[in-house]
Structure formats: structure tokens, C-alpha cells
Amino acid sequence: MSKILVTGGAGFIGSHIVDRYLALGHDVIVVDNLATGARENVNPGARFFPLDVCAPDFARLILQERPEVINHHAAQTMVRVSTEQPAYDAQVNVLGILNLLQAAARAGVRKMIFASSGGTVYGTCRCLPISETEPFAPESPYGISKAAGEHYLRYYAANGGPCYTVLRYANIIGPRDTVSSEHVITVFIHRLLAGQPPVIHWDGEQAKDYLYVDDAVEANVLALDHGDNQAYNIGSGRPISVNAIYRLLVEITGIRIPAEHGPKRAGDVRLFYFDCSKAARELGWQPQVPFEEAVARTVAWYRARCDSGAAIRVSAKD
């Protein structure tokens, strides 16, 4: 078993990864500054350090613990925030991974697993489904910073640093997401359960690739021992429109509130869905949870929280 450090391990996806690594018997360290994550998400079987990935103390922790693997999920993840505060986005996503990689190289870390963003690094693509050979053409500072992170990983791997596996995620859905993420399914569920109308931006026909969090976690398990120095699309290979999401949520919840409409959001991509055949061939990974079931599971989790008196968390500090 390995010693694994998970950044962002109190967040939505990262906390699920921590749970799975612990279940497999690994020694897991969680680093999270709780800006968007929550202490309640951290598995008690992990050692937790409330640190920022840009801080010198984080680099010192890597040198002290010398993990075999670092799974890097800590990030500024919102396209809107990146367009409004590009310098902040770069500070977290670019300077953060540089701080990590410099320390990882000195500590002799064997491998980096990096959460990239397939929905933003590629930009608008004419050739669909999108394969890993598609050139980067990001349309937001967030996409630019994620693409930069991938380039730094390649540089350090070629110059004495750890090897890496990049996972270019589709839109991940499931329990523990927060409304502050502005992920459409989470926001729509929150508003419907609160008796408020969802807001459909643009014309609602923009369509993206969605994947249940458990399937994303499995890719992070397989990447521990496979896919060295490679990048993989991790998605369902199926585009779902915002309008279709709204209709499905109305059907699942039984809450029929007419949607409102708003303008296109800055940096939003019209259509993307993945070719994930490379991940199937080289990682042995394939999605297992159909979209409709993924949404139903997600609704059930949030509804149970509401029924138990726990509010759907807007941010870590609410």
C-alpha cells in the first residue's frame, strides 16, 4: 500500500477519492484550505492538514511526509471567477501546482495524478467526440490555467520530477457538491428543493458531458499504477443539454416550477463530449453509472439532507 497525499481532499471530488483510497488500505494525507471544501467531508481515517497549496508550509509538509503519490485536486474551479479575477485564478492554479511540483521533485515523489478540465482546455471543437489529440484552445482563464498545469507536469517529468497521469474531467456530478460551484445540476436541485425557479442561461441547448463522481473516483484508483505520463478524457461520451437536465430533474423530484432564463455566461462552451477510448484501452476504465441514475442518486442525497434538516451547503463557511 502507498502513502498518498490528496490536495482538495475536503472538497467534492477529492473527498470521495480519499474515501476510496482509504478503503483500499492506503495511508492518506489530506491537504485543504477549506475555501470551498468542508471539514465534515474529511474521512476520519485520513490525516488532515488545513493548508493552502501556495503556502511554504505545504511544500514543507511534502518534504516531511515524502508521499509516494500526490493526487492534486485543489484548485480554483469556477469559469466565472476566472474571467472576473484571472490573476487569482492563476495564483491558485498555476503558482499552486508549481509550489507542489518543486517540493515533489525534491521529496522524490513517484507520481502525480492531476485533475484537469476537459470541458475548458479544449475550447470549442468542431471534431466531436473530442479525443486527447485535440489541440488546446481554452476560452477562459480557468481553461488556460489548467492547460498550463499540464505543461508544467510534462516539464517536471522530463527534468527529474515525478511522472504523472492527467485526468481531463467532464462535468462531475454527485453528493457533496456545493451550490457555490455553480454546477448546473447542483444549482437546479437546490433551487427546486427550495421552491425557487432554476435559471437556464443562453437558450438551454448548450450540451456537455456529465459523469457520476464514483466513476471519476475509479479513474483515480486506476491511475495509481497505470497511465504514466499520459492524459485521459474521463467522461460519459454523451452530451446532455441544460434543457434536458431541467426536464429530468422536474420528473425525478416531482417539483414543477417553470424555469427562468438568463444570458449566456462568459466562457461557456456550446457543445462538448468525449471520446474516452484511450482510457478504456490503457487504464481499463469505463463509466458504469448511466446519467439518469447518476442524477437520481444525486437528488436522493440532497433530498435526504433537506429531510434531515441539513441545508444544502452554499459554501464551506455557511
Tens-digit pLDDT profile for residues 176-201? 999 989 999 999 999 999 999 999 99
For cell 503556502, name the residue. Answer: 55
Rg (CA), the chain: 19
Give pLDDT, residue 126.
85
pLDDT, tens digit (0-9, with 9 covering 90-100), for 59-100: 999 999 999 999 999 999 998 999 999 999 999 999 999 999
Residue range 103-127: mean pLDDT, rounded: 95
Query: Would you say residue 312 has pLDDT above 70?
Result: no
Predicted confidence (pLDDT) per residue in 211-269, tens digit: 999 999 999 999 999 999 999 999 999 999 999 999 999 999 999 999 999 999 876 77
- Min mean pLDDT across 125-129, 170-174, 193-197 is at 125-129
The more confidently predicted of residues 316 and 38 is: 38
What's the whole-number average pLDDT of the chain? 95
Residues near 38 by beta carbon (within 8 Å), at least 6 away in sequence: 10, 176, 178, 313, 316
Residue 318: per-residue pLDDT: 30
Tell me the average pLDDT across 150-162: 98
Cell, residue 72: 492534486
Band the pLDDT of 311: cuts 50, 70, 90. low
Residue range(s) occupied by CATH 3.40.50.720 in the chain: 3-172+212-234
For residue 122, give the DSSP letter: S
Identified catalytic residue from 21, 88, 122, 142: 142
Cβ-based neighbours of 257, under 8 Å, separated by 6 or more = 191, 192, 195, 196, 197, 198, 250
- Range list for CATH 3.90.25.10 in the chain: 173-208+238-271+290-307
CATH T-level assignment (fold) for domain 3-172+212-234: Rossmann fold (3.40.50)
Give pLDDT, residue 265.
84
Position 20 scores a pLDDT of 98
As a whole number of angstroms, the distance between CA 46 and CA 96 comes to 22
Residue 142 falls in the annotated catalytic set: yes
Q: Note the pLDDT of residue 266.
A: 76
Cβ contact 104:72 at 8 Å: no
Contact, 214 vs 23, CB < 8 A?
Answer: no
Q: Is 315's pLDDT higher than 50?
A: no
User: How does residue 317 score in pLDDT terms, banded at 50, 70 and 90?
Assistant: very low
Asked if residues 121 and 78 have their Cβ atoms less than 8 Å apart, the reply is no
Assign 197 to helix, strand or coil.
Answer: coil
Residues composing the chain: 318
Contact of 232 with 283, CB cutoff 8 Å? yes
The overall pTM is greater than 0.85: yes
Q: Which fold has domain 173-208+238-271+290-307?
A: UDP-galactose 4-epimerase; domain 1 (3.90.25)
